[in-house]
Amino acid sequence: MQFILAASRVAHQDSMGRVLGDGSMWRTPAKLLAVALLASSLAGCLGYDGEISHGFQADPAVLADVKQGSTAEQVLVLLGTPSTTSTVGGDAWYYISQRTSRQLAFMPPKLIDQHIVAVYFDKTKKVTRIANYGIDDGKVVDFSSRTTPTSGAEGTFLKNMMLNLMHVGG
């Protein structure tokens, strides 16, 4: 009987040789595991300042070097590759920068500031003008609605059908 009692005490001793109470051997690792999980889940939040800058970071001294009459190669060397270029109505390069903020790391970002440096070129690839647009100059476009506005959507189906029949008959 004493052998069984001694074996159970050995099973409940910690690394220092102290005898632990019943079940406490399992409670301490569970507490440590809970604390470790909590600490690791919050580790990503440390050092988060909430404001993030995206895109082209304009240096005023470098922007001053881009002048009317500069070539496209000079602009490319000074400002780098543009964020996007125009495809309709002339040749322009756009350098876009945005600042977003989040109250908490898991919240959706809110746009704080946006600047677009637009460099317009003529047919010979010489700079004709430089424009700096801010957030107040922009127009909000909903890219996620996945709908395309079409003509005819403003009238009713019956009205459009009657108008089409009148054009065919006349």
Q: Which domain holds residue 12?
A: 2-45
Give this prediction's pTM: 0.54
pLDDT confidence of residue 4: 46
First to last CA, the chain: 113
How many folded domains does the chain comprise?
Answer: 2
Residue 6 has pLDDT above 50, yes or no: no
Please, are residues 72 and 121 in contact by the beta-carbon 8 Å criterion?
yes
pLDDT of residue 78: 93
Residue 162 placed within a domain = no
Q: Are both 71 and 19 inside the same structural domain?
A: no
What phi, psi does 87 have (nearest 5°)? -120, -15
For residue 6, give the nearest of 19, 25, 15 by alpha carbon.
19
Number of Cα atoms under 13 Å in the Cβ half of residue 32: 6
103 and 121 in a common domain: yes
Q: Are residues 127 and 67 in the same domain?
A: yes
Co-location of 56 and 30 in the same domain:
no
Tally of CA atoms within 13 A in the half-sphere of 148 that contains its CB: 2
- For residue 164, being part of any structural domain is answered with no
**Are 63 and 41 within one domain?**
no
pLDDT digits (tens, 9 = 90+) for 146-166: 666 666 556 677 787 778 888
Residue 161 falls inside a structural domain:
no
Same domain, 29 and 12: yes
**Judgement on whether residues 40 and 88 belong to the same structural domain of the protein:** no
Please report whether residue 153 resides in a domain: no
Please count the residues of the chain. 170
Distance CA 80, CA 117 (A): 12
CA 61 vs CA 1, 19, 66, 99: distances in Å = 89, 72, 9, 21
Residues 79 and 96 in one domain: yes
Q: Are residues 97 and 23 in the same domain?
A: no
37 and 100 share one domain: no
* Band of residue 145 on the pLDDT scale cut at 50, 70, 90: low
Looking up residue 86, the CATH number of its domain turns out to be: 3.30.1450
- Inside any domain, residue 85: yes
Q: Is the same domain home to 65 and 128? A: yes
Name the DSSP class of 13.
Answer: B
> 101: which strand partners?
51, 110
Please state the rounded mean pLDDT for residues 97-125.
Answer: 87
